[in-house]
Copies of this chain bind each other. A is one copy, B any other.
Amino acid sequence: MLKGTLLVGQSGGPTPVINASLAGVILSAREHAEITGIYGMIHGIEGVLKDELVDLQRESPQIIENLVYTPASALGSCRHKIEDKEYERILEVCREHNVRHFVYIGGNDSMDTCKRISELATSTGYEIQVMGVPKTIDNDLAVTDHSPGYGSAARFLALATRDTGLDLESMATFEDVVILEAMGRNAGWLAAASALAKTTEDEAPHLVYVPELAFDETKFLDAVSRIHARIGRVYVVVCEGVRDANGDFVGTHRMKKTTDAFGHTLSTFTIGVAAYLADLVGDQLHLRARFLRPVLIGRTMSACVSEVDRRESFRVGQGAVKRLAGGETGLMMLLNRISTSPYRCETGAVSLESVANAEKLLPRDFLEDSGVLPNEKFKEYALPLVGEAWQPVARLEKYRIKTGNEL
Contacts and interface: CB of A to CB of B under 8 A. Distances in A.
Contacts of A300: 163-164, 166-167
A296 B254 contact: no
Interface stretch (A139-147, A325-333, A398-406): A398-406
A389 interface: no
A386 to B, nearest CB: 12
A166 B294 contact: no
Contact of A391 (B172, B293, B302): B302
Given A163-B71, A394-B66, A401-B55, A258 B255 contact: no
Counting every copy of the chain, the complex holds 2
Contacts of A271: 271, 275, 279
Interface in A164-213: 164, 166-174, 178
A352 to B, nearest CB: 24
Contact of A171 (B77, B171, B172, B279): B77
A97 B292 contact: no
Contacts of A164: 296-297, 300
B42 A398 contact: yes
Given A65-B394, A303-B304, 11 more contacts: A43-B172, A52-B403, A55-B400, A55-B401, A72-B166, A77-B171, A97-B407, A160-B297, A266-B266, A270-B289, A294-B297
Interface string A42-74: 110010000111111011100111110111111
A303 B75 contact: no
A246 B300 CA distance: 38
Sorting the interface of chain A by its residue count into under 10, 10 to 19, 20 to 34 or 35 or more gives: 35 or more
Contacts of A92: 404
A283 B258 contact: no
A397 B39 CA distance: 13
Contact of A403 (B51, B72, B75, B392): B51
A314 interface: no
B301 A160 contact: yes
A191 B296 CA distance: 18
Given A66-B394, A163-B72, A301-B163, A404 B51 contact: yes
B266 A170 contact: no
Contact of A14 (B96, B171, B296): B171
B302 A163 contact: yes
B392 A66 contact: yes
A305 B14 CA distance: 25
A131 B348 CA distance: 62
Nearest to A166: B72
A257 interface: yes
A286 to B, nearest CB: 13
Contacts of A166: 14, 70-72, 300
Contacts of A294: 292-294, 297
Contact of A258 (B43, B67, B260, B405): B260
A334 interface: no
Interface string A365-407: 0000000000000000000000000111111111111011101
A29 to B, nearest CB: 15
A278 interface: yes
A78 B174 contact: yes
A166 to B, nearest CB: 4
Contact of A275 (B275, B398, B399): B275
Counting chain B CB atoms within 10 Å of each CB, which of A60, A173, A401 scores highest?
Answer: A401
Contact of A39 (B71, B302, B401): B401
